[in-house]
Structures are given as structure tokens and as C-alpha cells.
Amino acid sequence: MAEEKAPVGPGAEAPPPQTDVDKLHSLWREYGQPILIGLGLAAAFLLGFGAYRTYRQNSVLKAGQLLARAGTIEQLQQVVSQYPSTPSAPLAVLTMAARQYDAGQFEMAQYTYTQFEQKYPKHPMKTAAELGRAQCLEAAGNLDQAQQAFEAFVASRPDDYLVPLAQLGKARVLAQADRLEDARTAYEDFIAANPESGWIPMAENALEQVNRLIRAPRSGAAPTAPMVAVPNAPAVTIPEAPAPAPVPSATAPSR
């Protein structure tokens, strides 16, 4: 009868020590998988970022091309709807408002300018929207509100490049409201303060018309406001480049 083997008890011999290979396997099990997962996540992030950057560049390019081809308000709205996060979107909104203004849709243009101010409060062309809104008030015949808007514009940003247009807008509104002496003072102050301004010819022409009305004999009929050019609402020039830059128009055609 064979002898029975005694069971391994607490005092049994310890297992052999781990070899270097065993230690490497243990380290791999403990740290290798997390490292692989981390590297995989990093690679996925880099690939995703690269894909996003490519997508972003393509979107900017397509939006710029669509804006350059936009000939109607509906097409401009398409730029805003399809590419809202591209630089072309705010330019499309400004251009849309200017088109509405030129079409005589002053209330709609004013609304569009207001939407621009609310949606893009830090955009470098926000002041163009503010001035455009004031010009819409003027064109719609809301002279008191327009005067207040022009004055507020000048007071809040005296160094802005559009201040001359706001100052001329105030003088123009005063003339239309038959406040001819105030209008003359406004034009004279502008000419004296801005002798090198490119707007001096317009101001001098308007001042001449105001002086002519002041000298004209008064009749019982309401006086005719001077035919002073009202500039287009500040618009943007749409370049052919894929990423258009905001460049306000410096022209001032009559409405």
C-alpha cells in the first residue's frame, strides 16, 4: 500500500523567487495596459483635433466662397445658417442689414443690426452695426431717437473711426427737424475740429445748404429740409478671398 503524501501546510516551502521575466510580466500587467490606453486616447485626441482643424478650415473656405457669391438676402441668410461659427457669418449679417437699408426696409434693417449687436457683442465691427441702427432710425423719420443714437455713439466711443459719420448724422437730423441754427453750429463745429477729414467737402456742402435755408424768406408753409446726403448704413466689402476681413465702406451715397 503506497504511502499517502502529507498535505502542504503552513510550513511548506515558499514558491521560487520571480525571475526578471516574471517581474516584467507583472509590471506590464500593472502599468502596461493603462499606458496603452493613455497613448490611445492621446492619439485619438490628436487625430480628432487634426480632423476638426481640417473641417474648420474647409468650413471657413466654403463660407467665404458662399459669402462672395451671395447676391440676395436669402443667400446671405444661408451663410449664417450653414456656417454660423465662421468669420463669414457676422459679415453676412452686416451685409444683409445694409441690403435691407438700401431697399428701404429700414425697420427690418434696424432689427438685423440689433441682432448683430446681441449675437456678436465683441466683434470689431459692432460699432458699424450701432451706427447703422442710428441711420435706420433717421431714414424711418424717427429724428429724435436718431439724434439721441448719434449723440450716444459719439459720447461712448469718441475715438472710433466712425465718429465723423455719427457727428454728420446728428447735424443732418437737426436740419431735417428744421433746427437750422443748431444744424449750422453742428456743421461748423465739425469743420473746425476736423480740418483734414475726408468728410469736409460733404460737411461744407451741407453747411452751405443750411445757410441758404436760413437766409431764405419764411412763408407759412413748412420749410424744406436741406437735401443733405444720407450715407448708406455701414456695410462690408466682400473680398474674393476665402476668409474675408471686415472692411467698412467709406462711401456715402444719398438714399
* Residue carrying the nine cell digits 463669414: 88
> Does 16 score more than 90 pLDDT?
no
Is residue 237 very low, low, confident or very high in pLDDT (cuts 50, 70, 90)? very low
- Pairwise CA distance, residues 169 & 252, whole Å: 11
As to burial, measured by CB atoms within 10 angstroms (0-12 exposed, 13-18 middle, 19+ buried), residue 8 is exposed
- Pairwise CA distance, residues 168 & 180, whole Å: 14
- Pairwise CA distance, residues 250 & 61, whole Å: 27
Q: Quick one: cell of 162? A: 466712425
Which residue segments constitute the domains of the chain, with CATH numbers given? 52-215 (1.25.40.10)
Determine the pLDDT at residue 85: 87
In this prediction the pTM is 0.67
